[in-house]
């Protein structure tokens, strides 16, 4: 009887996660449509709203994140969907190519309320940006990074670390040469190779071979200088 209830609870939580994913997609589509309408409006491509060809940028990104694990049991699992913040620092090499460092993380619930899950990452991306003379700047990107997922309960924690590659795309809309907002999407393919079990001041490390993934969809705000 208890096993049946736990399966029903797990199924209900997964259905709720699917609804949240659908809602996130609808928000992203609405934001993209809004930005496209602005880009087509008279004066949207004003020269004064285009950033300098070379320079630096800072960004703040509010993300919805979805973890992808190879196997999770009904007895214990990490909720796929979570939320977090990312910070980025970029350098514009020319009007179309940009390099960027992105660092941040997301928090995720688990099936056990006493255990918290956290995803952390730092990545380096190369961007190819279209429409250099427009205030509306769609782009594609690719890069690599380091990732860690950690489960924590009191003084005990389990952490897996690894590396991976990422690709994605999005757009920025420039309200002025310095200020912009946009939507960003990234898919990360991760290979975890190290696990650390910590209990107070004691820790134990071991090698692992686990595949994972991370999808992020974020609303970003930027400052170029």
d(CA 119, CA 115): 14
Sign for the CA dihedral angle at 197, 203, 206, 211 comes to positive
Q: Which residues are CB-contacts of 193 (< 8 A; sequence separation ≥ 6)?
A: 161, 162, 163, 207, 208, 209
Quick one: how far is CA 111 from the chain centroid? 22
Which CATH number characterizes residue 195's domain?
2.40.160.20
Listed range (8-17, 50-59, 173-182) with the worst mean pLDDT: 8-17
- pTM beyond 0.75: the answer is no
* Adjacent-strand bridge partners of 170: 139, 184
Residue 82 lies in domain? 2-224
Sign for the CA dihedral angle at 10, 13, 81, 136 comes to positive
The closest of 159, 84, 71 to 115, measured between CA atoms, is: 159
96: which DSSP letter? S
Tokens of 186: 């990234």
What confidence tier does 28 reach under pLDDT thresholds 50, 70, 90? low
How many domains, the chain?
1
> How many percent of the chain have pLDDT more than 90?
57
Residue 39 pLDDT > 70: no
């Amino acid at each position: 009887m208890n096993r049946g209830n736990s399966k029903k609870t797990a199924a209900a939580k997964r259905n709720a996660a699917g609804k949240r994913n659908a809602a996130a997609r609808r928000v992203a589509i609405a934001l993209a449509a809004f930005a496209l309408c602005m880009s087509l409006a008279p004066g949207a491509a004003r020269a004064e709203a285009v950033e300098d060809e070379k320079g630096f940028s800072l960004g703040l990104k509010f993300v919805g994140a979805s973890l992808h694990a190879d196997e999770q049991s009904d007895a214990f699992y990490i909720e796929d969907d979570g939320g977090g913040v990312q910070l980025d620092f970029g350098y514009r090499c020319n009007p179309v190519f940009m390099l960027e460092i992105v660092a941040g993380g997301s928090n995720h619930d688990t099936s056990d309320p006493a255990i918290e899950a956290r995803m952390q990452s730092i990545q380096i991306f190369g961007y190819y940006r279209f429409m250099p003379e427009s205030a509306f700047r769609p782009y594609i990107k690719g890069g690599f990074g380091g990732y860690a997922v950690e489960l924590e309960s009191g003084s005990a924690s389990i952490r897996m670390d690894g590396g991976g590659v990422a690709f994605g795309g999005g757009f920025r809309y420039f309200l002025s040469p310095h200020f912009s907002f946009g939507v960003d999407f990234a898919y990360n393919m991760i290979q975890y190779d190290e696990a650390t079990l910590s209990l107070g001041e004691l820790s134990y490390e071991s090698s692992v071979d686990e595949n994972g993934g991370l999808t992020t969809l974020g609303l970003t705000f930027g400052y170029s200088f």
